[in-house]
A and B are shown apart, each in its own frame.
Chain A
Amino acid sequence: MNTQLLRPATAVPLLIFAALAAVPFVAGALEQPFWISLFARIVIYAIAASALNLALGYGGLVSFGHALFLGLGSYAVALPAFHGIDSGWMHLAACLAVCGVGALLVGVISLRTSGMAFIMITLAFAQMGYFLLVSLKQYGGDDGLAVAATSRFGPLDLGSPLALYGTAWVVLVLVTWWMARLRLAPFGMALRAARQNARRVNAIGLQARRLQLVAFVISGTLCGVAGLLLANLNAYASPSSLAWTISGELIVMVVLGGMGTVFGPLIGALVFMGLEEVFKGLTEHWMIIFGPLIVLMALVGRRGIVGLLESASAAKRTKLEVDKDANTDPNANDVPARSVGEA
């Protein structure tokens, strides 16, 4: 176990968690309150990317519409708050209910298809949600809706940046821990098997599509929780959080970090948003640098940063000729198979 903790693919993320926990103290000491909101955004997107990773990485479901759940989660805060409800529990209940039911509906219809059609349909559902919210003129429509009252969980008010950051950090740790457990649990094993070969999974008596649907619903609901936090951070909910580019960015984060790995989404979110800040500092037209980088990433292949760390540690081990440990993590070479069931 000790040696496992020392492997780069595990040690680096644990260091990141520790560093993220230190952010409020450092920001307080250096009097840079901007850092807290910047890193809160990173942590929240890491939660959303981890959620997407359950569907995309573990399940092989290329959802191009996860911004839908991010947006629904935001509006689950803004709409009740607009009507004077500031109880965080009510916001959370609304968020879980709306995103859960939404993900179930989207999943049931989208999972009837696979491959390219699945990508397009999830995208279309997110657009549908986008246009729905844009057309709700009484709730701000295009301009979005300011969060009139932030979520209060008893004495904990997510309106304060520190409380929000702490909550987001705890949620991220819990989600990451859950995803690590889920990955090796029977459900996670069956789900990953269904990604590689749905027919075999069906043949041994499991139902691949049902597993995928459950994964999609959990994934969407968790993404909604990230949306809830995001609305509290920005004190604002806007249809633009459902924009299709957000869905694309979430996919980029997951792939950049390492699809189907436990810590990949966290690292991906950190690197993506870190680079975004750096490029934004260089030029207003930062996307002109970022776009080609994404193209390059797609061309080079997609083991992601965690994949690189794993091969680095594997290379080191071969060098040391520690043969008794030759049987490395069986998941290290877990390269996603082509999506199955294509026409």
Chain B
Amino acid sequence: MSATLLLAQLLNGLQYGVLLFLLAAGLTLVFGIMSFVNLAHGSLYMLGAYAAAIGYGASGSFVLAIVAGMAAALVVGLVLEVSIVSRLYRRDHLDHVLATFGLVMFFNELVRLVWGPQPLFVEVPQVLAGTVDLFGFTYPSYRFAIIVAGLLVAVASHLLIQKTRVGMLIRAGAQNPQLVGALGVNIGLLNAMLFGVGAMLAGLAGAMAGPVLSVQSGMGEPVLITTLVVIVIGGIGSVNGALYAALIVGVVDTLGRVYLPMLIRLVAERSIADAAGPALASMSIYLLMAVVLALRPQGLFPARRG
């Protein structure tokens, strides 16, 4: 019984971690090349979720819904890149924070204005409504599909970055953007492309999260802040670091919420445990981050820099 609970929670943690990775990958790459801090990444996630929810309602096809979510986030991401973000690359982080903070306020309010404050509910598609059998252990198909999709994206991005010419430019850009620009590569275009891909992945995460979480205004911010924790733990600018850190954070957070209250109950009285358990559990990833930073300020898997 306990073993199946542990397995289920591990898979839940993995599923959460995979969603975090989809967000972290785009964010960390844009930071790696252009040192841009994008708080509005959570808004792209939210827009992806809304577009998918509406696309699903209109078409009834979940594949189309995913495409709609990704396309919406891609378009909005590119518009933002061209109109606002690309003007801010040379400024310092404070300007990035201010501009994207304003964007977050704008998008949250826009969504509230158009679709109201009530959350939208998205049903799990018929095909994935059942459970899968993993060596005699059952797990919801939809959550399993999220894990598979996320890991596929991770593999694809690894291949893209390590094996293709564009990937080579991305790696070079992360190490020394000025030099890459001086060699005749259009670094602005490269970054606009990366920003777009990052936005698309955020949209994908939002579209997939729709049936698991509620789709509402402001849904992007909690997950964005957790994503920032992931990036800091993983080492800013490193996609591999983002993957490992996302999985670590997903698992620690999920297991922490289940097991920390139980563990504390073993050593403390019930009344204390009931109070301290949930408090500690909700803080677990931040404590993890504080420990990582105290020991390795550059993160666990930092990108190599020239």
Q: Is the CB of B293 within 8 A of A112?
A: yes
Of B94, B96, B110, B290, the contact of A288 (CB 8 Å cutoff): B110
Residues 154-196 of chain B, each 1 if its beta carbon lies under 8 Å from chain A, else 0: 0000000000000000000000000000000000000000000
Q: A121-B232, A343-B305 are in contact. Are A244 and B275 (CB under 8 A)?
A: no
Closest to B296 in A: A112
Scoring A131, A286, A342 by chain B CB atoms within 10 A of each residue's CB, the highest score goes to A131
How far, in angstroms, from A298 to B229 measured CA to CA in the complex?
Answer: 25
Residues 33-45 of chain B, each 1 if its beta carbon lies under 8 Å from chain A, else 0: 0010100000000
- Does A161 interact with chain B (Cβ within 8 Å)? no
* Complex interface: chain A residues within 8 A of B282 (CB): 131-132, 134-135
- CB contact list, B292-306 vs A, under 8 A: 293-294, 297-298, 305
Closest to A302 in B: B95
Q: Is the interface of A mostly helix, strand, loop or mixed?
A: helix
- CB contact list, A29-63 vs B, under 8 A: 56, 62
* Complex interface: chain A residues within 8 A of B293 (CB): 109-110, 112-113, 117, 121
> A9-17, A122-130, A182-190, A217-225: which one contacts chain B?
A122-130
How far, in angstroms, from A64 to B275 measured CA to CA in the complex?
Answer: 28
Interface size class of B (residues with CB under 8 A): 35 or more
How far, in angstroms, from A302 to B289 measured CA to CA in the complex?
Answer: 32
| Contact surface of B with A, Cβ cutoff 8 Å | 31, 35, 37, 84, 87-88, 91-99, 101-110, 112-113, 221, 225, 228-229, 231-232, 236, 275, 278-279, 281-283, 286-287, 289-290, 293-294, 297-298, 305
Chosen A-B contacts, 25 in total, with CB atoms closer than 8 Å, are: A109-B294, A116-B37, A117-B293, A120-B232, A123-B228, A124-B229, A124-B232, A124-B286, A127-B225, A132-B282, A135-B278, A135-B281, A136-B275, A138-B275, A291-B106, A291-B107, A291-B109, A295-B98, A295-B103, A295-B106, A298-B96, A298-B98, A298-B102, A339-B92, A343-B298
Supplied contacts A124-B225, A298-B88, 18 more A-B pairs, CB within 8 Å? A116-B37, A120-B232, A121-B289, A127-B286, A128-B283, A131-B286, A244-B221, A244-B225, A245-B105, A251-B94, A255-B94, A287-B108, A292-B102, A293-B102, A297-B98, A299-B84, A338-B92, A343-B298
